[in-house]
Amino acid sequence: MPGYLEGIIGFDVGMAVLTEYDADGFLTTQIDAYGEEKSGVLPYDAHHFYGRISRPHDPETGPDGTPRLGCVVLIGMDGGRGHVWHLGDPRVTGLLPRVKKGGNLNYGGKLKNPGFYYMDGDTGSQTIYVPYKIVNDVPQKAMTIEINVDNEGQESISIIHGSGAAVSITEAGGDVSVMMKNAKGNAYVEVNDEGGVLNGQWTVQGGFNAGGPESAVPLVRAPELITLLQQLCAVIASINISFTQGAAIAPILARLATIVAKNTKGA
Q: Which pTM does this prediction carry?
A: 0.75
Within 10 Å of residue 259's Cβ, how many Cβ atoms? 15
Domain boundary among the residues 90, 105, 134 is at 90
- One domain for residues 105 and 159: yes
For residue 46, which of 87, 89, 10, 106 has the smallest C-alpha distance? Answer: 87
- One domain for residues 36 and 120: no
- One domain for residues 102 and 176: yes
- Structural domain contains residue 3: no
- Structural domain contains residue 253: yes
Q: pLDDT tens, position by position, for the chain (267 residues)? A: 445 556 566 789 999 999 999 999 999 999 987 544 444 678 999 999 899 999 999 999 888 888 889 999 999 988 778 899 999 999 999 999 999 999 999 999 999 999 999 999 999 999 999 999 999 999 999 999 999 999 999 999 999 999 999 999 999 988 999 999 999 999 999 999 999 999 999 888 877 777 777 877 776 666 677 677 777 767 766 765 555 555 666 676 677 667 666 655 554
- One domain for residues 240 and 190: no
- One domain for residues 85 and 118: no
Domain ranges, residue 63:
11-90
Burial label for 146, CB within 10 Å (0-12, 13-18, 19+), is middle
Domain boundary among the residues 62, 90, 118 is at 90
For residue 204, which of 182, 220, 192 has the smallest C-alpha distance? Answer: 220
- One domain for residues 145 and 242: no
- Structural domain contains residue 251: yes
Q: How far, rounded to the nearest angstrom, does the alpha carbon of residue 222 sit from its chain's CA centroid?
A: 37
